[in-house]
Amino acid sequence: MSTVDTPVTAGGPDARLPEGDPGEGLSRGERLAALAQQRGSLVVLLLTVLVASLVFDTFGSVDNLRDICLQSSFLAVVALGMSFVILTGGIDLSVGSVYALGGVVAAWASSHGTVAALVAPVVVCGAVGLLNGLLIVRAGMAPFIVTLTTLLFARGLLLSVTTEGSVTRVVPSGSAFATMGQGSALGIGYPVWIAVGLYALGVLVLQRTGFGQTVLAIGSNEDAARLMGLPVGSVLLRVYVMSGVLAGFGGALAAAQASSGVTTTGVGLELSAISAVVIGGTLLTGGAGTTGGTLAGVLLLGVIANIINQIGFSNSNWQSVVNGGFLVLVVVIQTFLARRQRL
C-alpha cells in the first residue's frame, strides 16, 4: 500500500477534508459546517457523558466507563469496516450475519488452537466480503441488493452448519483465545485495546495512503475517479473484503469474551453499525467522514444504552427508539450542512 504526498481531490469539496484539518481553504461558514460535521459527534458524546455523570451517581465510576468501552469494542470493530464502505458511497447489510458466523466459526476452531480460532473466521468472513465485492464490482449489482442477499446467505449458512440452538459452540476453558476476550492490561480489556489499535491503523490508512484517498474520491464522484485513472474496481473490492474480515473478527472477539459462539447474535447489528458511522459524521452518500467520528458514534450509542439502563428501562426497545431519534436528527443536520456548504 503506497503512501501519497498530495491528497486526491476528485469531485466535491468534501474530499479535501482530512481529519486533522477540517475545511482548509473554505469560507468561514463552510469551515464551521465542516467542523460541525467532523467534530459534532465528539462534542455530543462529551456533553452526554458530563450530564449523565452529574445526574447518575454510578455513571461516572471507573468500572461503569470501563464496561461501556468493553461492550462497545465489538461494534466498534464492525463499524470500522462499515465506515470505509459508506465512504465509497456503498452499504454492507451483511455484517450482522457475518459477525455471528465469525463467532461460531471461531468458537468451533478454538478447539484446534488460538491461531485456528483467529484465522478461520477471517478467511470465511473475508470470502463473504469477497463475494460481495465481486458481485458489486464485476457484475455491476447494487450494494444494497448484494449485501441483503449475503445477509440471508450467511445467516442460512450459519444455521445449516449448527444445531440451530442458542449456544452452538463452546470455547475450551483456559485457552489463550478465551484470554484474548476476557483478559485485560492496565485494567482495560484486551478487546478495547484491539479496537483502539485497529482505529489507529484505520486513521493512517484513510489519511495517509493512496487507498484511503481513493476511497474518498470514489465516494465524492465515482465517475470522476475513473476518469482520473484511479483503481476504482480493486479499491471497492478490497473495501468489501475489509468489511467482511472486520465483521468476522469482531464476532470472533465476542465469542472469545463470551466463551461461546451464538447463532442468535448480530441480529440488527448492521443497523447499529450504520447508525454509528452516520452519527459519527460520515455522509451516507459517501466522500466525507472520519474513522475517529465513527468511534465517537459507537461510544455515544454505548453511553445511551447505559443511560437507559441507569434510568431503569429494562426493555431494549427504548434503546432503539433513542438511537433512531438520534439518527434522524443527525441525517437532518447533515442535509442542512450539505446545503450550507453548497451555498
Rounded mean pLDDT of the chain? 83
- Dihedral sign from CA coordinates of 133, 289, 213, 196: negative
User: Is residue 14 scored above 80 in pLDDT?
Assistant: no
* Alpha helices by DSSP H, the chain: 28-55, 62-87, 95-109, 114-137, 143-160, 176-182, 190-208, 210-220, 222-227, 232-258, 269-279, 291-311, 317-342
282 within some domain: yes
The CATH number of the domain where 303 resides is what?
A: 1.10.3470
pLDDT digits (tens, 9 = 90+) for 223-250: 999 999 899 999 999 999 999 999 999 9
48 within some domain: no
321 within some domain: no
285 within some domain: yes
> How many domains does the chain contain in total?
1
Range of the domain at 195: 59-311
Identify residue 197 by its one-letter amino acid code: G
317 within some domain: no
pLDDT digits (tens, 9 = 90+) for 268-290: 899 899 989 988 888 888 888 88
| Cα three-residue angle 327-58-298, rounded to 5 degrees | 25
115 within some domain: yes
Reading the block at residue 52, the C-alpha cell is: 449523565
- Dihedral sign from CA coordinates of 92, 96, 97, 102: positive
DSSP, collapsed to helix, strand or coil, labels residue 261 as strand
Once rounded to an integer, what is the mean pLDDT over residues 309-323?
A: 71
340 within some domain: no
DSSP 68-137: HHHHHHHHHHHHHHHHHHHHTT---TTHHHHHHHHHHHHHHHGGG-HHHHHHHHHHHHHHHHHHHHHHHH
**Residue 58 exposure: Cα atoms within 13 Å on the Cβ side:** 9
10 within some domain: no
d(CA 300, CA 336): 22
pLDDT digits (tens, 9 = 90+) for 175-216: 888 888 888 899 899 999 999 999 999 999 999 999 999 999
Identify residue 200 by its one-letter amino acid code: A
